[in-house]
Amino acid sequence: MASLRAFAALAGVVALTVAAPVPEPELAERQDTSAPFLHSAAVAHGKAWFGSELDTFSGEQYDQAFMTVWNDSRIFGSTTPGNTMKWEFVEPQQNTFNFSQGMQTVALSKATGKDAHLRCHNLVWHEELPSWVVYQPYDSWTNITLAAAMINHITKTVRGFGSNCYSWDVVNEAIDDNAQWRNTIFYQYMGKYYIPIAFAAAQAAVKSIGADIKLVYNDYNIEFPGAKQQKAVELVQLIKQYGIKIDGVGFESHFVFGETPGASAQMQAMQSFTSLGLNMYQTELDVRFPSLPPTPATLAQQASDYYNTIQACMKTPACQGMTVWDFDDAYSWVPSTFAGQGDACLYWANLTRKPAYEAVYQAITDVNCTVC
């Protein structure tokens, strides 16, 4: 089912390219847009959004059944582009900028009322970098030239998307799985100081266009107390000690079923950052199964993992909104990154809902979980 739908979407892309008649896409007959509605409920309960990623690079926008759900502003009130604002898309050659792919998500957001909370993602990350950044001849960067290239990327990208962005993930995943500074190319040349430099550049770029864009640090496995979460606190303090602005921290929340931290652990982790005056966001939530297929019992556990996670945001006043990293298994990033794993989303690949969808609604509306 997943591959058929992905194929139908791709066929749509090809058909548009060659201007041939667009074949009837394979519609999921039962795409579910009935009540309850997650975004409407989140707003009614004091949050700014419940949202879902959109990846136009995968051709999602050509999949009519998928878009029927994504477009529904009662279900999703915010989005994040999955790929198209990343460095390799925006600045494929040094100082040659291309905002057109990212602007597709801007346009689709505006058309469906998601533009007030478009989470722009991301400015500095160790993945999806163009080759001119990573594969320079040995040692041809210096700390000065790489800093200048990074600042130029940040400045022109922030200005290019301008006030279409509600927030920017300025630095993404700067801490490794051993809770050390990740050994990225930026770290190799600038040490940890590339992080405050990046935030300072973003702050200056936002100021130069007179916009109000939230500046965010985004990472995974900082959703529960521990060494990596402590390192993220250190990162925030590093930025703040120079008087540089950081508005919030994104908890990616890529979880594994049954290993998801409980609501109180997640709330405690949020507290470490809110006590520094920051806002919080759940930015890329999904709960994957390490082996497939799931059973009714493991689906109930997945529902419980989603419930606990959403509850942590709902019960943390400074947590602004919740975003899932795609809502539909057909386009989830999980199977291509974690071989043999998957079924991490709220909707099955045929666009019907899992128990987790109801669990999210129940967490938002603060009632006991009946599907966990």
Q: Which residues bind ligand XIL (CB under 6 A)?
A: 55, 82-83, 172, 252, 284, 333
Residue whose beta carbon is closest to ligand XIL: 333
- Pick 85 or 371: Cβ nearer ligand XIL: 85
Q: Is-contact 46 33, C-beta < 8 A?
A: no
Least separation in angstroms between residue 155's CB and ligand XIL is: 21
Residues tagged active-site? 173, 284
C-alpha span between 196 and 235 (Å, rounded)? 9
Please state whether the peptide bond connecting residue 355 to the residue before it is cis, i.e. omega within 30 degrees of 0.
no
For ligand XIL, which is the closer residue by CB, 50 or 333? 333
**Mutual angle of helices 143-161 and 100-111, in 10-degree steps:** 30
> Is 25 in contact with 62 (CB distance < 8 Å)?
yes
- Computed from CA positions of residues 152, 157, 163, 165, in that sequence, does the dihedral angle turn out positive or negative? negative
* Least CB distance to ligand XIL at residue 371 (A): 27
- Helix runs in 209-262, H state only: 227-240
Which residue lies nearer to ligand XIL by CB, 183 or 208?
Answer: 183
Query: By the 8 A CB rule, do 54 and 107 touch?
Result: no
Closer residue to ligand XIL in complex, CB, 83/184 = 83
Least Å from the CB of residue 123 to ligand XIL: 12
Nearer to ligand XIL, 80 or 164 (CB): 80
Listing DSSP states for 95-150 in one string gives TB---HHHHHHHHHHHHTT-GGGBEEEEEE-SSS--HHHH--STT---HHHHHHHH
37 touches 49 (CB < 8 A): no
What residues are paired with 310 via a beta bridge? none
Of the candidates 160, 176, 180, the one whose C-alpha atom is nearest the C-alpha of residue 168 is 160
Report the distance separating Cα 324 and Cα 304, nearest Å. 16
Nearest distance, CB of residue 58 and ligand XIL, angstroms:
7
Residues present in the chain in total: 372
CB-wise, 64 or 172, nearer to ligand XIL? 172
Taking the C-alpha atoms of residue 219 and residue 297, their distance in angstroms, rounded to an integer, is: 30
**Distance in Å, CB of 45 to ligand XIL, minimum:** 27
